[in-house]
Structure 1
Amino acid sequence: MNKYAVQLAFAYMGVIIGGGFASGQEILQFFTGYGMASIAGTVLAGLLFAFLGMQIARISTTSQAQSHKDVLCLLFGRRAGAVMDILLTFFLFGVGVAMLAAAGSLFKQQFGFSPVVGSVFMTVLVVLTLCLNVKRIIDLVSLATPLLMALVLVITTYSLFTSNADLDQLLTLSQGQETVAPHWALGAVLYASFNIAVGFPMLAVISGRSRDIKTTSRGGALGGVGLGLLILLLNVSLFSNLNQLHGAELPTLMLASRLSPVVGILMTVSITCMIYSTAVGMFFAFSARFSSPETGRFRVLSLSSCTIGLVLSFVGFTTLVGSVYPLLGYLGLLLIAAVLVNWFRGRSMAAGVVNDIA
């Protein structure tokens, strides 16, 4: 498969995964709490990510999108697209700020440092990355994903072989888990809607810089399949050890640390990388909305937005997640609906052309 398609897939996965996925908290609330039905939920989410990734990449490449606004105007029309653009741009910045705050929380919990240290460290990394060219950004963001994939495979294998609870006990424990929706299918759709809104802007910009529709479409689909596989593996490992994860804020890290202190350190590094990749994706897409990448104006805007984001991050990670993420989920549902309508229209037009020829 084309190397660019694989890089695009890893970048797509890296931006969406973020710190919440790597820590295991998102998977617990959106999937594991539904018991055995969570397997079906992970499959549904993976299919949605693959389909949406492929369609967004196709639309972006076809239109040669310079920013996510170009794609939004195609999907929603000029006026509604402009409104969606304003809303999404605002939330992009909000998620970027939340990632800076997440780095502060991680450094405090793992190393006992002041949250300011972690937030400043992450801000500096993000600014330095955004000063590179686009290809280097894709390379750096995509590098973090294979590390997490390897760690999830190791943790899943370990969890399955060391689980000391029977299925009935695990099912009972899963019923006591907090979930985001009354049904597993709705939980999977909500997970996809929130995360596709996060991944859409960077996927649109990266795909728009290529003229090879087949390559970018494959990259989007491959990234979605990879996301589905990661969700499935992490869900299985968490479910099989529910009896040992009560009250854990970072359940994945707990499993990794139990396996080995070295694996625990590697997982801490992995979570940091995921926070980094999401932060880079958010601030990159935000800055690309107002200026062309690899220009002096883009670098100045990146520095300014990250500095402002650093100050706002001191509000706290939990507060930011509680206020920004739910609203972004609703925006994601609108985006999914628009992509589906665009896909149906494309199929209808193609069918009409075939009929006319016949």
Structure 2
Amino acid sequence: MTTALFIFLGYTFAQLGTNLKANSHKEVLYYIGGRFVGPVLDIVITFFLFGVAVVMFAGAGSTFNQMFGVSPVVGSIIMAAIVISTLLLNTNKIIGIIATITPYLIAVIFVILIYSIFTMDLSLTEADELARQQPSATSNWLLSAFLYVSYNLAAGAALLIIMTGNEKDKKVASMGGILGGFILGMLIILIHIAMFVRIDVVAGKDMPTLELASQIHPAVGILTAIALLGMIYNTAVGMLYSFTVRFTAPESKTYRPAVIVIGSLGFIASLIGFTTLVGSVYVVMGYLGFALIVLAVAAWLRKPQDN
């Protein structure tokens, strides 16, 4: 269900971004929401862009702590400094860095997950019993699927809109949305299967994929930690960039000072803790993201080719 939704919504938002030649998510949100709903969506999405970046800083701290024994605060500082430094570059370089790193991250995670699936120790019945004991955002699988897509889209739509807004070829933008949704969906399926069959190993861990890798070999754990930090970095860069350009243009004089101030505030907020932030920010974002999905699909159906 999540894969199908990611493919369709990736395509939908890519179409909206390139049709409107958007430089910020604000333009698309006002288009799909109108004069009254648009500003509300803008405020909500902008707030959660910052929230996801904060979660990523906290996640970096947890990864450094779990894998290398480094204080979570130190790990968060390192990630915040790297992200801020990246955002001081121009837009094309930022997008280029994200595009370069992503294939490596996908390949590493893919190998780790496949290995974990084929080395499971539990029966499916045992795994199911343990999995049902773990906390969940909701007890209904269908609602969980929509929530998962909703909060991912609420966070990722802004960067997708900006990237496709600079793409002149509508077919290229649309295919990017479709392929991105498909790859993301496949990774989600693998991650969930891997966690399910190794639930005895990952239960209660902040970074379950990292724990799976460490069970294979310490060296593999380090490689996976690097991959996870790369994913965290990619996400934090995308979220903070989208958040910052909502208020100031990348070529303006205020952009660089804004990046430093916003990045520093993000680090301070990350001190609340990774699991606490995930449990609060992501679930709320998931419910609010439903409105974004409904309005985006309605706008796409209304004028899919005319803009």
TM-score by structure 1 length? 0.80
Structure 2 residue 132 is the aligned partner of structure 1 residue 200? no
Helix, strand or coil: the match of 1:150? helix
Q: Which residue of 2 aligns with 1:149?
A: 106
Q: Which residue of 1 aligns with 2:16?
A: 59
Q: Which residue of 2 aligns with 1:300?
A: 257
Q: Which residue of 2 aligns with 1:332?
A: 289
Note closer, same or farther for the CA distance 1:309–1:242 as it changes in structure 2 (3 Å cut): closer
Cα displacement (A) at 1:108: 2.6
Cα displacement (A) at 1:301: 1.3
Q: Which residue of 2 aligns with 1:177?
A: 134
Note closer, same or farther for the CA distance 1:175–1:323 as it changes in structure 2 (3 Å cut): closer
Q: Structure 2: which amino acid aligns with 1:174? A: A
Structure 2 residue 197 is the aligned partner of structure 1 residue 228? no
Note closer, same or farther for the CA distance 1:62–1:269 as it changes in structure 2 (3 Å cut): same
Structure 2 residue 60 is the aligned partner of structure 1 residue 140? no
5+ residue gaps in structure 2?
none
Note closer, same or farther for the CA distance 1:327–1:164 as it changes in structure 2 (3 Å cut): closer
Task: Name the CA distance, whole Å, in 2 between partners of 1:156 and 1:341.
Answer: 37
Q: Structure 2: which amino acid aligns with 1:269? A: I
Note closer, same or farther for the CA distance 1:247–1:287 as it changes in structure 2 (3 Å cut): closer
Q: Structure 2: which amino acid aligns with 1:320? A: L
Task: Name the CA distance, whole Å, in 2 between partners of 1:160 and 1:322.
Answer: 27
Cα displacement (A) at 1:175: 2.8
How many residues are matched?
Answer: 306
Note closer, same or farther for the CA distance 1:163–1:321 as it changes in structure 2 (3 Å cut): closer
Q: Which residue of 1 aligns with 2:271?
A: 314
Cα displacement (A) at 1:120: 1.6
Task: Name the CA distance, whole Å, in 2 between partners of 1:235 and 1:140.
Answer: 28
Indicate the percent of aligned positions where both proteins have the same amino acid.
Answer: 44
Q: Which residue of 1 aligns with 2:226?
A: 269
Task: Name the CA distance, whole Å, in 1 between partners of 2:136 and 2:142.
Answer: 12
Helix, strand or coil: the match of 2:121? coil
Q: Is the 8 A contact 2:59 2:274 kept in 1?
A: yes
1:32-75 CA-to-partner distances (Å, cap 9, x unmatched) read xxxxxxxxxxxx10111111111111111111111100000111
1:2-53 CA-to-partner distances (Å, cap 9, x unmatched) read xxxxxxxxxxxxxxxxxxxxxxxxxxxxxxxxxxxxxxxxxx1011111111
Task: Name the CA distance, whole Å, in 1 between partners of 2:80 and 2:204.
Answer: 30
Structure 2 residue 227 is the aligned partner of structure 1 residue 279? no
Q: Structure 1 segments of 4 or more deviating over 3 A?
A: 243-249
Q: Is the 8 A contact 2:164 2:173 kept in 1?
A: yes
Q: Is the 8 A contact 1:100 1:313 kept in 2?
A: yes
Q: Is the 8 A contact 2:62 2:206 kept in 1?
A: no
Q: Is the 8 A contact 2:213 2:224 kept in 1?
A: yes
1:264-315 CA-to-partner distances (Å, cap 9, x unmatched) read 0011111111111111111100111012224432222111211222222223
Cα displacement (A) at 1:227: 0.5
Q: Is the 8 A contact 2:53 2:266 kept in 1?
A: yes
1:177-230 CA-to-partner distances (Å, cap 9, x unmatched) read 333222222111110001100101111111111221111111011100000110
Task: Name the CA distance, whole Å, in 2 between partners of 1:121 and 1:159.
Answer: 30
Cα displacement (A) at 1:256: 0.7
Q: 2:245 aligns with which of 280, 285, 288?
A: 288
Cα displacement (A) at 1:162: 1.6
Q: 2:175 aligns with which of 205, 213, 218?
A: 218
Task: Name the CA distance, whole Å, in 2 between partners of 1:157 and 1:101.
Answer: 27
Structure 2 residue 38 is the aligned partner of structure 1 residue 81? yes
Cα displacement (A) at 1:119: 1.7
Helix, strand or coil: the match of 1:244? helix
Q: Structure 2: which amino acid aligns with 1:184? A: W
Superposition RMSD in Å? 1.9
Q: Is the 8 A contact 1:101 1:313 kept in 2?
A: yes
Note closer, same or farther for the CA distance 1:247–1:309 as it changes in structure 2 (3 Å cut): closer
Task: Name the CA distance, whole Å, in 2 between partners of 1:159 and 1:70.
Answer: 43
Q: Is the 8 A contact 1:127 1:306 kept in 2?
A: yes
Q: Structure 2: which amino acid aligns with 1:160? A: I
5+ residue gaps in structure 1?
1-43, 351-358
Q: Is the 8 A contact 1:65 1:71 kept in 2?
A: yes
Cα displacement (A) at 1:159: 2.1
Q: Which residue of 2 aligns with 1:242?
A: 199
Q: Which residue of 2 aligns with 1:15?
A: none
**Residues 32-111 of structure 1: pairs in structure 2 closer than 5 A:** 44-111=1-68
